Amino acid sequence: MVRQSSNTQWHHATVTRIRREQQNGHHSAIIWFTGLSGAGKSTLAHAVEERLHLRGCRTFVLDGDNVRHGLCGDLGFSDQDRQENIRRVAEVAKLMLEAGTLTLTAFISPFRVERNLARKLVPHGDFIEIYCDCDLATCEQRDVKGLYKKARQGAIKHFTGISSPYEPPENPELIVNTASNSLNVSVDSVLALLQDRGIINNV
């Protein structure tokens, strides 16, 4: 996943990540939500961000649909394009980590190898994988965009869970059952994890 242009050198800033974290009053981290389409990744990520923002934290959500309006707008949904999509997002998240921000990503990110490569881009403990565990039937019931229906009709190719595989995390930092848990309960569990790890302070 790591790429580097020729004839370039990393410029070390005087304003460091540590100084930014001290100014913010919390540590930075990458909080990576993964799961099937309809599992509630974006909903949970934005709800967590809202709670963090109210606590005065510096946050930003990288949303799967939003990045395809620009940064990844040239990519399709083949396995290769999905891998490149995650590579780009991981590199952006790494930069935002250095900026002292709590960066929440909401992507299906179906393949373990890409998620693991994203994890390896940053120091140990800075990548927090949260698996939004939701059964396929429930995801299809929540299908407000009608994507599952189109996929089953063959109108959408390479659709995760139907014609393209999803590989659940083997050792995520947190599993949230978004089929049975309420949104508030799910948010509470994410915040509790961040507190336990010392990323944010207890209130």
Catalytic sites, residue numbers: 109
Q: Which residues touch 129 (CB under 8 Å, ≥6 apart)?
A: 32, 34, 115, 119, 169, 172, 173, 174
CA distance to 23, 55, 108, 177, 193, per residue, from 82 (Å): 36, 34, 9, 25, 28
Spatial distance between the Cα atoms of 60 and 97, rounded to a whole number of angstroms: 11
Report yes or no: 18 and 99 within 8 Å, Cβ to Cβ.
no
Cα–Cα distance list, 115 to 16, 58, 132, 163, 169 (Å): 26, 24, 14, 20, 9
